[in-house]
Amino acid sequence: FMLKEIYEQPQVLGDTLHSMFNPVERTLTLPEIPFDLSAVKRVTIVACGTSFYAGSVARYWFESLARVPVDIDVASEFRYREPVMEPGGLALFISQSGETADTLAALRYCKAQGQHIVSLVNVTESSMARESDAILQTLAGPEIGVASTKAFTTQLMVLACFAVALGRARGVLSAAEEDRLSAALVEVPARASEVLNHDERIREIAEEVMHARDVLYLGRGSSYPIALEGALKLKEISYIHAEGYAAGEMKHGPIALIDEKVPVVVIAPHDSLFEKTASNVQEVVARGGKVVFFSDEHGVKKMGQNAVFTISLPTVDPFVAPILYAIPVQLLAYHIAVLKGTDVDQPRNLAKSVTV
Ligand code: F1P
């Protein structure tokens, strides 16, 4: 199922986008939100696992495009730390299943704190959807593979549209900026198909990486949660130890782990943070780390010679890069797991939905 679901992504990303975006009039229409988005002073995002990383990307989008303060936490911490919340905030819960126990408990806590409750789910007949003031939905359909793939990228698509809508409602996005962002979103399904063309090359990279005991993933800005998600995917299905780090954190500790046996997967679209990430890559290379470099034409031209493996992904507006860069990290984990002979659809110790 996992590979099938990875390959469905261009289609379900298009379906999800078109449920919110009119390509002819180039306007974004969200499902009905029964409260005033323009009055929202704070957004709190709560989720678990891969859904938490989708929320972590959304934090960058909400802050930069809507200039709204954002809190984010994993539900298993949030629900027990009893956060202080001003009534009238927007609390956003992200869950493929809509049934994850910790996320549901966090939702109920936020409701008691007078928050407007919005859930982003794949399944609208779910507990979270029922208990929410507004529902955002991916059109990915139910996901069968335990490791989340199409749910993640479609969650990102919805969150990107929501960020634009929030920016517009708060009056911080100009019409020209909204046009640029919309154009970038419209391109995503076609660019996602192009990313899938790198599948065979990623399988070749997997043949090398599969022998590692530890793998590090690095990213900066909105690529940082993609690094975290890449590491999670690899752990979940191949049982190789992997960690994601903010690229700039390397020198604060993790760089001590680097030697010629450690593959370092770098998520580096050529955006405004690229040069900073590039200097982190040089630090890794200087210590013998084997860099797997996911970038685009510009990025590969500048830094590719430092990497052992490079993949040149389509050049896109940096806004939508996290949606596209999620796909090669899914494929890398998938191929490593298949080469190692693990059951990618039913990884040991994992349940699709954690309801207790
Ligand atoms: C959250 C989640 C999934 C993960 C695994 C366990 O589920 O952590 O991201 O792949 O299946 O549960 P959900 O709240 O998004 O349904």
Cβ neighbours of residue 18 under 8 Å, at least 6 residues apart? none
The reply to whether ligand 1 has any atom less than 6 angstroms from the CB of 148 is yes
The reply to whether ligand 1 has any atom less than 6 angstroms from the CB of 120 is no
ipTM: 0.96
Kindly state whether residues 247 and 139 are assigned to the same domain: no
Residue 46's closest CA among 108, 1, 3?
108
Kindly state whether residues 183 and 208 are assigned to the same domain: no
Ligand 1: distance of its center to the CA of 94 in Å? Answer: 10
Output the tens digit of pLDDT for each of the chain's 356 residues.
999 999 999 999 999 999 998 877 777 888 889 999 999 999 999 999 999 999 999 999 999 999 999 999 999 999 999 999 999 999 999 999 999 999 999 999 999 999 999 999 998 899 999 999 999 999 998 888 889 999 999 999 999 999 999 999 999 999 999 999 999 999 999 999 999 999 999 999 999 999 999 999 999 999 999 999 999 999 999 999 999 999 999 999 999 999 999 999 999 999 999 999 999 999 999 999 999 999 999 999 999 888 899 999 999 999 999 999 999 999 999 999 999 999 999 888 888 888 88
- Dist CA 146 CA 1 (whole Å): 9
Q: Which residue has the tokens 């709204």?
A: 68
Kindly state whether residues 187 and 203 are assigned to the same domain: no
- Dist CA 43 CA 90 (whole Å): 5
- Dist CA 291 CA 349 (whole Å): 30
Element (H, E) at 91: strand 90-95
The reply to whether ligand 1 has any atom less than 6 angstroms from the CB of 44 is no
Ligand 1: distance of its center to the CA of 175 in Å? Answer: 36
Instruction: Label residue 199 exposed, middle or buried (CB < 10 Å: 0-12, 13-18, 19+).
Output: middle
The reply to whether ligand 1 has any atom less than 6 angstroms from the CB of 346 is no
Kindly state whether residues 202 and 188 are assigned to the same domain: no
Query: How is residue 164 written in tokens?
Result: 């634009």
Ligand 1: distance of its center to the CA of 75 in Å? Answer: 11
The reply to whether ligand 1 has any atom less than 6 angstroms from the CB of 74 is no
Mutation choice for ligand 1 from 353, 355, 356, CB with most ligand atoms inside 8 A: 353
Q: How many domains does the chain have?
A: 2
What φ, ψ does residue 99 adopt, rounded to 5°? -125, 0
Range of the domain at 258: 197-340
Residue 336's closest CA among 217, 210, 241, 233?
210
Domain-located, residue 300: yes
pLDDT score for 15:
96
Kindly state whether residues 218 and 82 are assigned to the same domain: no
Kindly state whether residues 212 and 330 are assigned to the same domain: yes
Domain-located, residue 350: no
Kindly state whether residues 176 and 68 are assigned to the same domain: yes
Domain-located, residue 353: no
Atom of ligand 1 nearest to the CA of 51: 15
Q: Dihedral, CA atoms, 171, 153, 10, 269, nearest 10 degrees? A: 80
pLDDT score for 137:
95
Question: Domain boundary residue among 150, 171, 193?
Answer: 193
Kindly state whether residues 225 and 152 are assigned to the same domain: no
pLDDT score for 12:
98
Residues 52, 94 contacting (CB under 8 angstroms)? yes
Kindly state whether residues 86 and 209 are assigned to the same domain: no
Atom of ligand 1 nearest to the CA of 148: 10
pTM: 0.97
Domain-located, residue 348: no
According to DSSP, the β-strands at 90-95 and 309-313 are: unpaired
Atom of ligand 1 nearest to the CA of 352: 11
CA distances from 338 to 201, 277, 331 (A): 15, 30, 10
347: alpha, beta or left, given left = phi > 0 and alpha = psi -120 to 50?
Answer: beta
Is 111 an active-site residue? no
Whichever domain contains 125, its CATH number is 3.40.50.10490
The reply to whether ligand 1 has any atom less than 6 angstroms from the CB of 48 is yes
The reply to whether ligand 1 has any atom less than 6 angstroms from the CB of 66 is no
Q: Which residue has the tokens 């790198």?
A: 198
According to DSSP, the β-strands at 27-28 and 21-22 are: antiparallel
What SS3 state is found at 186? helix
Give the chain's length: 356
Atom of ligand 1 nearest to the CA of 146: 11
pLDDT score for 332:
98
